[in-house]
């Protein structure tokens, strides 16, 4: 069983900012990264689902890593999403991310082709062998169509560079079993499971909601680490209305995060409509009133 947190506890799945014309906006990316760190994020995950990786080029991915690396300095963990449906391309992106300054790799299950578990395992091993960077596996079957089964995770845990999992599988029993039997660090990728997964031995979270409420999301883990589970439960409850609107309202988290941040999405995503934006802002303002950003409690 692992108590290690190889990338910290409170990680943000950072948006990729664009201009109104749809171009990569590195100035805003730098500003946003610096803000997230100042508000308590232990690490940043770039070029993931929230980062609109399916619609950014390899060159844009690399430029974003370099810009954020330069902004946050060498001490803060910066992970790069490199997963694609193509093993060869994923290996190329992994090597590119290493050269661009990433500290770790987020590797999603190959999607659309729905490979069997033996092929899933082979894919991850190929990527883990391609660089010297530690790997966080990304288990999100609702998007990829393929689960990383617990038995597969148990085998993959033997690889020295496969150190963590971003867990969006919605299988708390399966996750708890892998946590108990391996040294893998489990990070919740589903806001409603941040606290439950942490309570059974998880390492922390990789959060989309942290783009807009980083300190409020971290406060839940801080309370739990103090041993105040009652306050952790209270604080977690305060985050749920905003998390539900951002992640379970029928709009992608990228769209809702950018609606609150005033940023632009890239097609095929479309911006949230006025009614959705108003609801998001109301929930965000309620959370800030209940739990001001400058407070850790």
Q: Which residues are designated catalytic?
A: 138, 166
Classify each residue of 181-210 as buried b or exposed e, where b means 16 or more C-beta atoms within 10 Å of its C-beta. ebebbbbbbbbbbbbebbeebbbbbbbbbb
DSSP 276-288: HHHHHHHHHHHHH
Backbone φ and ψ for 231, nearest 5 degrees, come out as -70, -35
Closest CA to 102 of 10, 214, 179, 14: 14
Task: Give 183's DSSP letter.
Answer: -
**Of 214, 283, 265, nearest in space to 17 by CA:** 265
Residues in the chain: 297
Query: Quick one: DSSP state of residue 8?
Result: B
């Amino acid at each position: 069983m692992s108590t290690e947190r190889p990338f910290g506890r409170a990680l943000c799945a950072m948006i990729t900012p664009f201009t109104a014309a749809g171009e990569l906006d590195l100035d805003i990316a730098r500003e946003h990264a610096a803000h997230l760190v100042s508000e308590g994020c232990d690490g940043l995950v770039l070029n993931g689902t929230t980062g609109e990786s399916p619609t950014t080029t390899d060159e844009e991915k690399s430029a974003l890593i370099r810009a954020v690396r330069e902004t946050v300095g060498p001490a803060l963990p910066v992970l790069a999403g490199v997963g694609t449906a193509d093993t060869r391309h994923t290996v190329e992106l992994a090597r590119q991310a290493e050269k661009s300054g990433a500290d770790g790799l987020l590797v999603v299950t190959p999607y659309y082709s729905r490979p069997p578990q033996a092929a899933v395992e082979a894919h991850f091993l190929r990527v883990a062998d391609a660089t010297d960077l530690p790997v966080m596996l990304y288990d999100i079957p609702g998007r990829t169509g393929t689960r990383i089964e617990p038995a597969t995770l148990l085998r993959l845990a033997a690889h020295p560079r496969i150190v963590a999992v971003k867990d969006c599988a919605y299988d708390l029993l399966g996750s708890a079993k892998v946590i108990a039997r391996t040294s893998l660090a489990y990070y919740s990728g589903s806001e409603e499971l941040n606290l439950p997964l942490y309570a059974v031995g998880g390492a922390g979270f990789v959060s989309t909601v942290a783009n807009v409420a980083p300190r409020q999301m971290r406060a839940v883990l801080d309370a739990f680490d103090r041993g105040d589970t009652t306050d952790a439960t209270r604080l977690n409850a305060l985050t749920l209305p905003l998390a539900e609107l951002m992640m379970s309202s029928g709009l992608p988290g990228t769209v809702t995060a950018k609606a609150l941040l005033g940023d632009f999405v890239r097609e095929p995503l479309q911006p949230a409509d006025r009614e959705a934006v108003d609801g998001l802002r109301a929930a965000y303002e309620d959370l800030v009133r209940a739990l001001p950003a400058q407070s850790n409690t």
